[in-house]
């Protein structure tokens, strides 16, 4: 067997082994997408409830006094940017899209005169910033595929602490969030959300049946509205971060499934091409052997006639 044919067969065997791995990873990611979708659906009732309350409390005329969490600050100087990426690779351009959007947001904040303070979720974001010598003091990782509410609360508490401190005292004046929103198995979109200061018009309406806005004039608060906001908005911030983490987890698995399916399909095509090349090499080798046999026979026949 020729060296070229042995090389083709070695490469075919290697690609077949890789194909088995990518196919298995594709199936695993597909099964995890279903679980991630179930977690999103399970968290939706709480998200809808707290969103409805926030819309009611922050509606015009309900709370008369300005609240630090809902009032834009004069001359803001620093903004927190939360990036939710993955802990592992092999997910196509999932993390790269988030990091690219983050760089664009940093440029926009810089144009507005704001210094950016990164809050990084996922090893990909941490590696990206560390490689460039940037601040990675606010970083969390190890749970991108299965985030818990405790993980979101840890991030939310750190953000709220910096926001309450304020930009003049080394904290932040705004909080921005960039994550990937899961819409379907085929569609995931990078989203930018300004979490704080809270604009009532920006609070998402989670349910089409929310009619609380029509009854705001009949609501009274005990204690005062500011006390309600003090207790409510930190929980709302954590709920928004947790919802973004769940969306990101489902988006990550969907991106990984697509990437592994593409890798499996490419492996199939490569195996077919290598098989054709191996067959052609084998055919050329057989033809060469036949020609050598025929040439040898003719040479022997010529020698015999001379004798």
The predicted model gives 67-88 an average pLDDT of: 88
Is a pLDDT exceeding 70 seen at residue 222?
A: no
Q: In whole angstroms, what is the distance from residue 282 CA to residue 279 CA?
A: 5
Give the mean pLDDT of the chain: 85
pLDDT over 90 percentage in the chain: 52
Q: Which backbone phi and psi does 167 adopt, to 5 degrees? A: -65, -35
Q: pLDDT tens, 33-46?
A: 989 989 988 888 88
Q: Is the pLDDT of residue 119 over 80?
A: yes
pLDDT band at 106 (very low <50, low <70, confident <90, very high): very high
Other C-beta atoms lying within 10 Å of the C-beta of residue 194: 13
Neighbours of 255 (CB within 10 A): 22
CA-closest candidate to residue 259, choices 30, 106, 15, 6 = 30
Query: Is the predicted pLDDT of residue 217 greater than 60, yes or no?
Result: no
In the block, tokens 């490469």 appear at 11
Q: CATH number for the 30-259 domain, one of 3.30.1490.20, 3.40.1380.10, 3.40.30.10, 3.40.50.300?
A: 3.40.1380.10
What is the pLDDT, as a whole number, of residue 46?
A: 84
DSSP string, 213-225: GGGGGG---SS-H
Overall average pLDDT of the 105-122 stretch: 94
**Does position 175 have pLDDT exceeding 90, yes or no?**
yes
Cβ-proximal residues to 9 (8 Å cutoff; 6+ apart), any chain: 278
pLDDT of residue 214: 42
Question: What average pLDDT does the segment 3-18 reach?
Answer: 89
pLDDT at 306: 57
Residue 43's pLDDT is what? 86
Domain range list for the chain = 30-259
Q: How confident is the model at residue 210 (pLDDT cuts 50, 70, 90)?
A: very low
The span from the CA of 118 to the CA of 99, in Å, is 11
Residues 6+ apart with CB under 8 A from 211: none
pLDDT tens, residue by residue, 231-273:
888 888 899 999 999 999 999 999 999 999 999 999 999 999 9
- At 54 the pLDDT is 77
- For residue 226, the model assigns a pLDDT of 66
pLDDT of residue 216: 47
DSSP bridge partners of 194: 176
CA-CA-CA-CA torsion sign (293, 297, 300, 306): negative
What mean pLDDT is predicted for residues 71-96?
Answer: 91
Tokens 């191996």 locate to: 278
pLDDT the model gives residue 220: 64
pLDDT exceeds cutoff 70 at 209: no
- 145 neighbors 254 (Cβ within 8 angstroms): no
More confident residue, 227 or 180: 180
* Beta pairing, strands 139-140 & 78-84: unpaired
| Contact status, residue 152 vs residue 245, Cβ threshold 8 Å | yes
CA distance 6 to 2: 6
The model's confidence at residue 192, banded by pLDDT at 50, 70 and 90, is very high
């Amino acid at each position: 067997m020729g060296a070229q044919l042995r090389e083709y067969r070695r490469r075919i065997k290697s690609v077949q082994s890789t194909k088995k791995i990518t196919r298995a990873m594709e199936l695993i990611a597909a099964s995890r997408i279903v679980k991630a979708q179930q977690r999103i659906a399970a968290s939706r009732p709480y998200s809808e409830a707290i969103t409805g309350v926030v819309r009611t409390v922050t509606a015009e005329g309900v709370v008369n006094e300005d609240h630090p969490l809902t009032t834009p600050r004069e001359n803001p100087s620093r903004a927190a940017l939360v990036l939710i990426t993955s802990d592992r690779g092999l997910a196509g351009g999932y993390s790269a899209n988030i990091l690219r959007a983050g760089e664009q947001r940093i440029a926009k904040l810089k144009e507005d005169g704001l210094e950016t303070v990164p809050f990084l979720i996922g090893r990909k974001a941490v590696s990206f910033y560390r490689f460039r010598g940037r601040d990675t003091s606010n970083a969390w990782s190890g749970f991108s595929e299965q985030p818990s509410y405790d993980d979101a609360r840890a991030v939310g508490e750190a953000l709220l602490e910096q926001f309450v401190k304020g930009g003049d005292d080394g904290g932040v004046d705004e909080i921005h969030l960039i994550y990937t929103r899961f819409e379907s198995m085929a569609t995931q979109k990078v989203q930018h959300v300004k979490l704080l200061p809270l604009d009532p018009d920006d609070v998402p309406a989670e349910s089409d049946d929310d009619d609380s806005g029509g009854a705001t004039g009949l609501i009274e608060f005990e204690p005062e509205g500011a006390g309600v906001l003090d207790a409510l908005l930190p929980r709302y911030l954590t709920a928004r971060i947790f919802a973004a983490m769940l969306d990101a987890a489902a988006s990550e698995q969907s991106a990984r499934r697509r990437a592994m399916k593409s890798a499996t399909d490419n492996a199939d095509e490569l195996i077919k091409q290598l098989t054709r090349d191996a067959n052609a090499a084998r055919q050329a080798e057989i033809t060469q052997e036949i020609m050598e046999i025929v040439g040898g026979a003719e040479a022997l026949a010529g020698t015999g006639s001379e004798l």
